Structure 1
Amino acid sequence: MPAHRLPDLPGRVAIPVPEQTRGTRSPLEHFNHARAEDAVRTLLACLRHSGWAHRLAAHRPYPDLPALLAAADEATYDLTPEALTAALAAEPLPALPAGAYSAAHTALGAANAAYESRFGHTFVICVDDLAAHEVLDHVLEGIRSRLANDPEEERLVAADELRRLAKGRLRTRLGATGR
């Protein structure tokens, strides 16, 4: 029956259903409805391990960003030692802020070389919550202090940092609002 011919029902309110058009979808909705290979590609930009990415893509749709982030946490915790090694090996070096002086690059390069020699993978650290002027000191302090860890302890710390990096990248790509 056309809307103008609906009977008047006192005390009842019609609940409009918002029309989902391409322009009004959130990044998470796009992710939920994307082709599997596109979703996997998005996830691989957050953590470079195909098993992790395929697992998260296979469990779509996610009702909201916190649900996706919780699933990402669980999938990261479930990485086997071999998978963690592969994911750590694929991580880029932490980026220094623009305009960092050359001595900082030299110090970071030397510290990272010592770290890789000791632990066999790139140093990873999440700096999402830091102001740009604090990043360099935090990275250098982090790498120096973590060089004192034993390999098993450092593996746990690196896995936690990798998990934090993946979640931050997901928030950035799929919207920090939590919708």
Structure 2
Amino acid sequence: MTPTHLPGRVAIPALPTVLDAFNIAPADEARKLLLTCLRSLRWADRVTAHRPYPDAPALLAASDEAAYDLTPADLSEALAGETLTALPDETYDIAHMALDAAHAAYEAKFGHAFVICLEGLSTGEALDHVLAAIRSRLTNDPEEERVIAAEELRRLAKARLVDALRGAGNCATSHNKPAPGTQQHTPPH
């Protein structure tokens, strides 16, 4: 039998996307990826359980919904896994000292690392934004700060998921390295 000639173009199947891979990954692999974006087991389980997602906006909406539903215990778990916000390497030592003091005061008052999403800010704007935000948030009472920290975690999770969907690596981090969407602050020596 001879092959028939097909007029026109031949359809080439699309390559799988990062979202496709996430949708078909075993649940434990999907959960592991999600935990690098937000360290809440309940959040990761909820987002994993609702797969497959038809598109990235649906995944991001599910991420937001699950983040809005974090209990105080879930929020504490997620905050415990966060690292300090980093400064650009070229930042002056005096700024590092000011930020270290602000972080120490924040952790003493609230019992967890200061979290903030720096999505959309240039490195030059990051220092001023972080210092202004931490100083402002130090005036909050613990419940008010918990609400703000939860919103920042939701924004961080979303930014990290977007990075992962863009293929900007596997969104993998450790407690010693910053997660995508944030930077790690290294004190001066």
Residue 19 of structure 1 pairs with residue 10 of structure 2: no
Give the aligned partner of residue 70 of structure 2. Answer: 79
Alpha-carbon offset, residue 16 of structure 1: 7.3
Residue 148 of structure 1 pairs with residue 139 of structure 2: yes
- 1:1-179 matches, cutoff 5 A: 4=4, 18-20=12-14, 24-175=15-166
SS in 1 for 2:37: coil
Change in Cα spacing, 1:5 to 1:127, as seen in structure 2 (3 Å) is closer
SS in 2 for 1:45: helix
| Contact 1:28–1:175 (8 Å) recurs in 2 | no
Change in Cα spacing, 1:5 to 1:135, as seen in structure 2 (3 Å) is closer
Change in Cα spacing, 1:5 to 1:45, as seen in structure 2 (3 Å) is same
Give deviations 1:51-80, integer Å, cap 9, x for gaps: 211211111110111100110011011111
Whichever of the two has the greater Rg, that structure is: 1
Change in Cα spacing, 1:5 to 1:86, as seen in structure 2 (3 Å) is same
Aligned residues: 167
In 1, distance between residues paired with 2:37 and 2:52?
18
In 2, distance between residues paired with 1:110 and 1:55?
37
**For the aligned residues, what is the CA RMSD?**
2.3
Change in Cα spacing, 1:62 to 1:17, as seen in structure 2 (3 Å) is farther
Higher helix share: 1
Alpha-carbon offset, residue 4 of structure 1: 3.7
Alpha-carbon offset, residue 18 of structure 1: 4.8
Contiguous gaps of at least 5 residues in structure 2: 168-189
| Contact 1:115–1:122 (8 Å) recurs in 2 | yes
Give deviations 1:139-169, integer Å, cap 9, x for gaps: 0110001111111111111100010000000
In 2, distance between residues paired with 1:4 and 1:78?
57
- Aligned sequence identity (%): 57
Contiguous gaps of at least 5 residues in structure 1: 7-13
* TM-score, length of structure 1 as denominator length: 0.85
In 2, distance between residues paired with 1:87 and 1:125?
13
